[in-house]
Amino acid sequence: MSASVLIGYFDSEEKVLDATRAVREAGYALHDVYTPYAVHGMDDAMGLRPSRLTWVCFGAGLTGAAAALSLQYYTSVVSWPLNVGGKPFNSFPAFIPVSFELTVLFAALTTVAAFLIRAKLFPGNKRVALPRVTDDRFAIAVEPREAPADMAAAEDVLRRHGAVEMARVEVAS
């Protein structure tokens, strides 16, 4: 199923921030905002909640640390205890380097996987490539309601806030 999306192109970040707020206040569904670099305040203008990806990273890091400590404790105390130089079997300072490495490894790999899954960036996914957005333009993709008058009204909102170009694109939903 595809939907028609109106894309307004802007030439400055101030205009795209202003237009993003205006589109939300007008009640249109904001499909996405495309910028060549991170724009301060865009999350607030789009009405986005804080990301939960930090909690995924934290949980994966704890899982990695727990796995490393438990594996090292099991192998050095339960499964194969060796008396090396009178050192105690459960010598936790010796476990720190491996635990740190597995914490970082689990956190990084799980966070990247969660991001790719949540953003639907996997092979075979069809994404619309917007020309010039990565070079020097900013773009807002608006999903107007079904009536043709709403498309014209949404176009008017974008033009009033500084859109230099307009385009209609069919996107897969």
Residues 89-126 have pLDDT tens digits of: 788 888 999 999 999 999 999 999 999 999 888 888 77
Q: May I ask the CATH class of domain 2-36+133-172?
A: alpha beta
Distance, CA of 88 to CA of 162 (rounded, Å):
71
pTM: 0.72
Q: State the DSSP code for 153.
A: H
Domain boundaries of the chain, sorted by first residue: 2-36+133-172, 53-118
Residues 125-170 have pLDDT tens digits of: 777 666 667 778 899 989 876 666 778 888 899 999 999 988 887 7
Q: Which residues contact 75 (CB under 8 A, 6 or more apart)?
A: none
Q: State the DSSP code for 88.
A: -
Distance, CA of 137 to CA of 86 (rounded, Å):
67
Which amino acid is located at 150 in the chain? D
Q: Which residues contact 83 (CB under 8 A, 6 or more apart)?
A: 89
